[in-house]
Structure 1
Amino acid sequence: MQQKQIIIFDTTLRDGEQVPGCQLNEQEKIIIAKNLELLGVDIIEAGFPISSPGDFKSVIELSKNLSKTRICCLTRAKKKDIEIAAQSLRYAKHPRIHTGIGTSESHIKNKFQSTEEKILNIAYEAVKYAKQFVEDIEFYAEDAGRTDKLFLAKVCDQVIKAGATVINLPDTTGYCLPEEYGKKIKFLLENVTNIDQVTLSTHCHNDLGLATANSIEGIKQGARQIECTVNGIGERAGNTPLEEIVMILKKKKELNCFTNINTKMLYPISKLVSKYTGMVVQKNKAIIGNNAFSHSSGIHQDGMLKNSETYEIIKPTEVGYNNSEDQNEEENKSSIVLTARSGRSALIYRYKKLGYELKKKKIDTIYPIFLKYADKKKEIYDEDLKEILHNI
C-alpha cells in the first residue's frame, strides 16, 4: 500500500508567538522561518497581519525570504482582515489565506451573539472573498472540537462551495478525547458532499495533554495536514509539538504515513526556538528534552550498555543531537548519568571513558564508596569519580 504524505503546517510564528513574553522581532522570525524551510515544513503560518503593523511587515519580509515553503497568514472572516492579509502576501511565491470563524454553540451565542444561519453565510462569503486574492484558501472552524457534527458538516459544505482548498478542524480548547475527535473527522468524510476536494487539517491544543494523541487520531481517520509548533509552544498549555508528530509518523510504520521533515534538524531548531522565545524546554520533554536520552537507573543503564535498543526507540542522531553545538552534553548522544540508582556496569563504563580500565575487584571496592557519595549528591560527575579513585 502506498504511503500517504502528511502535510506539516507550522504555526510557531503565529500561534506559538501568542504566548505572553515570547514575542519575536522581525529578524528572529526570518531566522526561524529559514530554518523551518530547511527542516522541510510544507507551510509556515507567518502571522496575523491585521493584528499589528509589526505582524504585517513580518509576513512581507518572510514572503521575500522563503522560496519553497508555502506562506500562510491568519484572518478573521472579515473583508478588511482578508484585504490586509492579501497585501502582506504580495511577495509570496506560494501564498495561502487562512480565514474562519467560531462554529460551536458557545462561540455562536456568547462570542458573536449570532445564529447558525448567519455564521454559515459569513463563512461562505469570507472564503469567496478571499478567493479573489489567492487560489489557496484554508478555512478554520474555530472550536470545531465542541461543534455539533451536523452543523459542522453544513459549514464544511458551504466553504467547499465557496472554493476552500483546506478545512481546518481545531480542537481549540483541547477538550476532545482522541476517539471523539477522530469520529468527528470520520463523520465529515462520510457525510459532506465533495469533501474529497479539500484537505482536512488538525489543529489541536494541549489543555488536557491530548494534542498529539488527537492529531494522530485525526490522521488515522483521514486528515492529511497537521498544524503544530516547535516545542509545542502556543496559547495556554500549547499546541501539538511538531517533533512528536513527526517522530510518531516515522516510527509507527503501521500508520503508513510520511512527512518531508529532515528529522536530524529537530533538536537544533528546538534549541533555536527556545533561545529566541525564551521558552525553556522541560528536561523530560519527549524527543528534544535534555533527559530524553539520559539513563540513571542501574537496570536501564546495564541494558543500554549492552544494546541501546533495549531502552531507546529513537537514536539521538536521528533527531540531530550530533548536530548540537552544546559541548556540555555528553558527546550529544545517549548519556549514562551516575546516581544512587546506578549499577556497577555504569560505573565501569564511566571510568573507562575517563581512561581507567578497572578490574572487577577494584570496582567491588569502589562501588560502596560511590554509593555513599551518590546518596549525598543528586548526580556524580567525573571529578567525583577521580576523587573516589584517588582516596581509596
Structure 2
Amino acid sequence: MSASESTEPDVAIATPIRIFDTTLRDGEQSPGCSMNAAQKLVMARALDTLGVDVIETGFPASSEADREATRLMARELRRPTLAVLSRCLPGDIETSLRALDGIARPRLHVFVSTSPLHREHKLRMSKQQVLDLAVTSVEHARKYVDDIEFSTEDGTRTEHDFLAEVVGATIAAGATTINVPDTLGYATPDEIRSLFRFLIETVPGARDVVFSAHCHDDLGLAVANSLAAIEGGARQVECTINGIGERAGNCAMEELVMALKVRGAWYGADTAIDTRRLVATSQLLTRLTGMQVQRNKAVVGANAFAHESGIHQHGMLRHRGTYEIMRPEDVGWSDSRMVLGRHSGRAAVSHRLRALGYTLEDADLDRVFAAFKDLCERQRVIEDGDLEALMHGDVAGDGYRLAAMTVSDRGGRASAQVELSDPDGRKVTESALGDGPVDALFGALSAATGLDFALESYQVHSVGLGADARGEANLSVRDGETALQGSGTSRDVIEASALAWLDVANRVRRAQTQAPARALRATS
C-alpha cells in the first residue's frame, strides 16, 4: 500500500461505539476533583458539545449536590442520554428515579458486586441473594424507565458461570445495557477480550442488548483493556476526560477515541466524538478541578506534539509523518511544536530563525548555533526572544536581575520587598502585600518591572536528592494572546519563584525591544 492510500475503513461501515462519560460521577470521586452543581453543568455542556452519547451525572442517593447537578442538566441538555447511578437498594432506586424526572433521555444505572471477595467481605451475601437482588432491582427500575443499565461490580474477578447467570437473569428482567467492569484494573487485555466473547456468545438474549466496558487503570491497562473489550464485542465504553477517577483513574476518553480513529483499519470501529474539541475539554476539566495533566500525557499533554530531539526535528521538517501518527489539529492543538533546547540540532535552529525572518550564511549560522548551545547549558527551553537576543549578540541573562528580596508572612497579609538590577544597571526597589508570600512576591516584582501577567499555572518541585537538592519553580503566564513559560532554580523555593517570574519578564522585555526590528524585516 502506498503512503498516499488511506488505511482507514469506510466510516459508513465502521462499527459505532457509544461513549459513556463518567467524568462527573466516577471521575469526580478522584481525591481533590469534586465539583459543585454549577461546575458540573459547565462540564456537562462541554461533554454534550464534544458528542458524548451518555453522560453519567452522578450518584443521587449520595448527595444533594449530585441531585441538584442532575436537575440543572435535565433543564438544558436534550441530545445526550443522562444516566444516574444507583445501588441495588429500593431507597437508592427511588431517589434516583426522582432525580431522572424531566430528563429527555433518562437512564437508570444500577449495580451490585458479584465477585467472591465482594460477596463475602463487602455484602456478606450468598450467590443466590446477589442474584435475587440484581433481578428484583432491575424489575423495579424497569417499571418506570425503559433504559436500564446493569453493572456487575468487580465483574472481571467473578466466576464466569455465576457472572453469566447474573447477566442472563438481568437481561430477562429488562436490562438494556450490561456493564462488566474491571473495577480494580486487574484484568489483562486477553482476559477481557475472552470474557466479553464468552458472555455474548453463551448468555441467552446477549445479542439483544449492548455490552459495556468500564476499566480502571491500576496497572496502566484501562485503555488497552477497553479496546480489547471492543474486540470482544463491547459496543459501549465508559471513560473519563483525562482518565480521572478512583485511585489510578479510569480509561481516558481522549486516548480511547484517538486509538479507534488512528487505528481504524485494525478495529473497524469509531465514535461520534468531535476529536477537535478534546484538548479544549481536557483543559476545561483542569480549570474546574485544579488537577493538572502531566506534560507527557497522550493526546492532550503539552508535550504530546512537541519535539526537541535534533533527529526528530530533522525528520519532522522533512515529513511530519516521520514522528507523528496523528495531526495535532485533529485533537485541538494549533500545531506541532519544535522545542528548542539542548537536544535540538542545527537544522531546527536554522528553520526557526528563517521563520523569524533571518536568513544566515553558514559561518553566521555556526556562530549563532554555538551561542545557542552555550545558552542551552543554562536554560532548559530557548524561546524566540532568546534567539533574537543571540542574533543581536546580547548576553544571555541580560535584563532584570534579582539583587535582594525579603518575604514575610505573620499569619495575616504577607509582605514582600524586592531589589532588582534593571536592564540599564540601575537599582529598583519595590514592595507589595499579598494573600500569601508568593502572591506578595509576584506583586512586588510586577511593581518593580512595570509588567503584569495573567498567571495560568505555578508549580514548585525538587531537583536532585539529599543535601544537594534544589527547588525549581515553573510558571505559565499569559501576556495578551501570548503564552509564556519561565523557570528558576535555587535552594530556596521562594527565590526560585522570583527567578522564574523574572525569566518570563525578561522574555517579554526582549520581545518588546525586538518587535520593531522584526516588523521592519517583514516589510523589507
TM-score (norm 1): 0.96
Aligned counterparts of 1:93 and 1:359: Cα–Cα separation in 2: 67
Identify which of 354, 361, 364 aligns with 1:362. 364
Aligned counterparts of 1:138 and 1:238: Cα–Cα separation in 2: 22
The 5 Å alignment of 1:238-387 reads 238-253=249-264, 254-321=266-333, 332-387=334-389
The 5 Å alignment of 1:186-225 reads 186-225=197-236
Render the CA deviation track for 1:76-116: whole Å, top value 9, x for unaligned.
Answer: 00111111111111110000000010010110001011111
Report % sequence identity: 44
Residue matched to 2:57: 46
Task: State whether residues 192 and 232 of structure 2, in contact with CA within 8 Å, keep that contact through their aligned partners in structure 1.
Answer: no
Q: Does 1:132 align with 2:134?
A: no
**3-state SS in 2 of match to 1:185:** helix
Aligned counterparts of 2:153 and 2:145: Cα–Cα separation in 1: 22
Task: State whether residues 28 and 245 of structure 2, in contact with CA within 8 Å, keep that contact through their aligned partners in structure 1.
Answer: yes
Render the CA deviation track for 1:64-86: whole Å, top value 9, x for unaligned.
Answer: 11010000000000111111111
Tell me by how many angstroms 1:6 deviates. 0.1
Aligned counterparts of 2:65 and 2:226: Cα–Cα separation in 1: 31
Q: Does 1:24 align with 2:35?
A: yes
Q: Gapped runs of 5+ residues in structure 2?
A: 1-9, 395-524
Q: Does 1:34 align with 2:27?
A: no
Aligned counterparts of 1:92 and 1:39: Cα–Cα separation in 2: 19
Residue matched to 1:70: 81
Task: State whether residues 30 and 246 of structure 2, in contact with CA within 8 Å, keep that contact through their aligned partners in structure 1.
Answer: yes
**3-state SS in 2 of match to 1:84:** helix
Identify which of 94, 105, 127 aligns with 1:94. 105
Residue matched to 2:194: 183
Tell me by how many angstroms 1:386 deviates. 2.0
Aligned counterparts of 1:247 and 1:359: Cα–Cα separation in 2: 43
Task: State whether residues 218 and 249 of structure 2, in contact with CA within 8 Å, keep that contact through their aligned partners in structure 1.
Answer: yes
Aligned counterparts of 1:300 and 1:184: Cα–Cα separation in 2: 41
Tell me by how many angstroms 1:366 deviates. 2.0
**3-state SS in 2 of match to 1:97:** strand
Q: Does 1:174 align with 2:185?
A: yes
Aligned counterparts of 2:271 and 2:189: Cα–Cα separation in 1: 21
Render the CA deviation track for 1:192-234: whole Å, top value 9, x for unaligned.
Answer: 1110111000000000000000000000110000000011000
Aligned counterparts of 1:94 and 1:359: Cα–Cα separation in 2: 66
Root-mean-square deviation (Å):
1.1
**3-state SS in 1 of match to 2:111:** strand
Residue matched to 2:165: 154
Render the CA deviation track for 1:150-195: whole Å, top value 9, x for unaligned.
Answer: 1110110110110000000100000011111111111111211110
Letter paired with 1:155: V
Aligned counterparts of 1:145 and 1:301: Cα–Cα separation in 2: 44
Tell me by how many angstroms 1:371 deviates. 1.2
Aligned counterparts of 1:217 and 1:165: Cα–Cα separation in 2: 22
Aligned counterparts of 2:216 and 2:229: Cα–Cα separation in 1: 13
Task: State whether residues 19 and 237 of structure 2, in contact with CA within 8 Å, keep that contact through their aligned partners in structure 1.
Answer: yes
Identify which of 119, 123, 132 aligns with 1:112. 123
Aligned counterparts of 2:138 and 2:49: Cα–Cα separation in 1: 31
Tell me by how many angstroms 1:33 deviates. 0.7
**Structure with the greater relative contact order (CA < 8 A, sep ≥ 6): 1 or 2?**
1
Tell me by how many angstroms 1:296 deviates. 0.3
Aligned counterparts of 2:332 and 2:161: Cα–Cα separation in 1: 45
Tell me by how many angstroms 1:302 deviates. 0.6
Letter paired with 1:288: V
Aligned counterparts of 1:359 and 1:31: Cα–Cα separation in 2: 54
**3-state SS in 2 of match to 1:239:** coil
Higher mean C-alpha deviation, range 127-136 or range 376-385: 376-385
Q: Which has the larger radius of gyration?
A: 2
Aligned counterparts of 2:362 and 2:223: Cα–Cα separation in 1: 46
Tell me by how many angstroms 1:41 deviates. 0.5
**3-state SS in 2 of match to 1:367:** helix
After the TM superposition, which segments of 4 or more aligned residues of structure 1 sit over 3 Å from their partners? Answer: none
Residue matched to 2:152: 141
Aligned counterparts of 1:288 and 1:35: Cα–Cα separation in 2: 16
Letter paired with 1:385: L
Q: Does 1:84 align with 2:95?
A: yes
Aligned counterparts of 2:82 and 2:343: Cα–Cα separation in 1: 50
Q: Gapped runs of 5+ residues in structure 1?
A: 322-331
Higher mean C-alpha deviation, range 380-389 or range 165-174: 380-389
Tell me by how many angstroms 1:378 deviates. 1.2
Aligned counterparts of 1:188 and 1:308: Cα–Cα separation in 2: 43
Render the CA deviation track for 1:20-73: whole Å, top value 9, x for unaligned.
Answer: 222111111111111111111000000000101111111111111101000000
Aligned counterparts of 2:164 and 2:183: Cα–Cα separation in 1: 18
Render the CA deviation track for 1:260-315: whole Å, top value 9, x for unaligned.
Answer: 11111101011101100111011000000000010000000011111111111111
Q: Does 1:163 align with 2:165?
A: no
Aligned counterparts of 1:86 and 1:360: Cα–Cα separation in 2: 74
Residue matched to 1:329: none
